[in-house]
Amino acid sequence: MENQNPANEAEKEFREVLEGMLMRNAKYLDTWLVQVAATRPSKALELYLKAAEFVAPKLKSAAIEANINFDNMSEKDLDRLVRELVQ
């Protein structure tokens, strides 16, 4: 069996360290999202969606893409959307 490329091994180790760090801090995610949503609801939604990719990777086939312009949404609508997502 051949030795792995040192760069690949370093990348694997980095991913393992990052995964461990993410898992240890997962319990704080709800609190952080609520704190961000208090002043920047659209940013909280963006962060929520990025975090969701770790659990449910993006669908490739038969995916429906919605082009939502959060900048045009009212603060009230953004707040409601964020509240629904973090519940």
Q: Is the pLDDT of residue 73 over 90?
A: no
CA 17 from chain centre, in angstroms, equals: 18
Mean pLDDT of the chain: 81
The ranges assigned to domains in the chain are 6-86
In whole angstroms, what is the distance from residue 37 CA to residue 43 CA? 7
Q: How many CB atoms lie within 10 A of CB 49?
A: 11
In this predicted model, what pLDDT tens digit does every residue of 25-61 receive, in sequence order? 888 988 999 999 999 999 998 988 888 877 776 655 5
Estimate the crossing angle of helix 29-39 against helix 41-55, to 10 degrees: 150
**Considering the chain, what percentage of its residues have pLDDT values greater than 70?**
83
In the prediction, which pLDDT does 39 show? 94
Q: Is the pLDDT of residue 63 over 60?
A: no
Does the pTM surpass 0.85? The reply is no
Report in angstroms the alpha-carbon separations of 19 from 13, 14, 38. 10, 9, 28
